[in-house]
Amino acid sequence: MVDSQCKLLDYDVLLVDMDGVLWRGSEPIAENVSALKRALEQGVTVVLVTNNSTRSRRLYSFLVEKMGLPIPSDRIITSAYSAARLVSRLHGGGAHVLVIGEHGLTEEFVLEGHLVLTHSEWREADYVVAGLDRKLDYQTLSSGVMALRGGAVFVATNLDPTLPMENGVGVGSGGVISLLEKASGHHVDYVAGKPSCVMGDTLEKFVSKGKTLFIGDRVDTDMEQARMLGIDGLLLSESPIPTSEEWFCTSKNLSLLV
Ligand SMILES: [Mg+2]
């Protein structure tokens, strides 16, 4: 597919990655934000999709509203929300969950009606759900390991090994997961973020609304999720990737595509 065919207004639904599309670090990417604003004004459904589990959908909705994108929290899909929905599908409500992660992850499980355990309650865990925790401590990790050795189901928010930071990279969720796997001998049972079947199930209700495009800046997560969903993909990249794939195109930004 050539870039000129990848017009945003030709789609009913846009699934949009956040980091690298809406902002880079704390800097908004103005041309992409204004293009999405125009798409919203024309009635296109915009759904934001991120592997970042540290913030809640409620907080993301507040942050993008301040940038001029009125997107309610039910159109924001984080790996934390995807993980909480997965546990609801597997268990129903009221699962006992040991969370290793930040506030955004805990909040989505509470909103889904699950019981988030304290770390001293690890014996009661039906599930260990782990993601990025920038204040991770030894006791928390050890509680997770003991719960996994005791037979809890292991859910990862995502497996991204590193986290882009202003001065290089930090340990990503995947690093935390590897540590838990190594110490418990229990391999992760489910991955909730991009790319995964679990995220595919979480996004299906939007994809079923009509012609859908996935916009992102990474081939291994965003474009792979698009391929798994059987929808078109738009990769934002400084250097275009030549492809003969009918479903895939690249562009530097979104400004020429509305
Ligand atoms: Mg990204």
Q: How far is ligand 1, taken at its centre, from the CA of residue 149, in Å?
A: 34
pLDDT at position 5 is 63
pLDDT in tens, 112-141: 999 999 999 999 999 999 999 999 999 999
pLDDT at position 236 is 94
Q: How far is ligand 1, taken at its centre, from the CA of residue 16, in Å?
A: 9
- pLDDT band for 244, please (50, 70, 90 cuts): confident
Q: Are 32 and 253 in contact (CB under 8 A)?
A: yes
Q: How far is ligand 1, taken at its centre, from the CA of residue 169, in Å?
A: 14
pLDDT at position 167 is 81
With 60 as the cut, is the pLDDT of residue 4 above it? no
Q: Are 28 and 222 in contact (CB under 8 A)?
A: no
How confident is the model over 72-100, as a mean pLDDT? 97
The domain segmentation of the chain, as residue ranges, is 3-51+195-257, 80-191
Sign of CA dihedral 96, 141, 135, 85: negative
Q: How far is ligand 1, taken at its centre, from the CA of residue 254, in Å?
A: 14
Q: Which fold has domain 3-51+195-257?
A: Rossmann fold (3.40.50)
pLDDT at position 211 is 97
- Mean of per-residue pLDDT scores for the chain: 94
Percent of the chain with pLDDT over 90: 86
Structure tokens at 227: 């391929």
With 70 as the cut, is the pLDDT of residue 2 above it? no
pLDDT at position 243 is 73
pLDDT at position 1 is 61
User: Where do the H-state alpha helices sit in 10-152?
Assistant: 30-41, 57-66, 79-91, 103-111, 138-149
User: What is this structure's pTM?
Assistant: 0.93
pLDDT in tens, 134-190: 999 999 999 999 999 999 999 999 999 988 777 888 899 999 999 999 999 999 999
Q: How far is ligand 1, taken at its centre, from the CA of residue 76, in Å?
A: 14
How confident is the model over 67-83, as a mean pLDDT? 97
Cβ neighbourhood burial of 189 (10 Å; 0-12, 13-18, 19+): middle
With 90 as the cut, is the pLDDT of residue 106 above it? yes
Q: How far is ligand 1, taken at its centre, from the CA of residue 158, in Å?
A: 13
Q: How far is ligand 1, taken at its centre, from the CA of residue 216, in Å?
A: 6
**Domain 80-191 CATH (choose: 3.40.50.1220, 3.30.750.24, 3.40.50.1000, 3.30.30.10):** 3.40.50.1000
Burial 56-92 (b: 16+ CB within 10 A, else e): bbebbbebbeebebebebebbbbbbbbbbbbbbeeee
How confident is the model over 39-49, as a mean pLDDT? 98
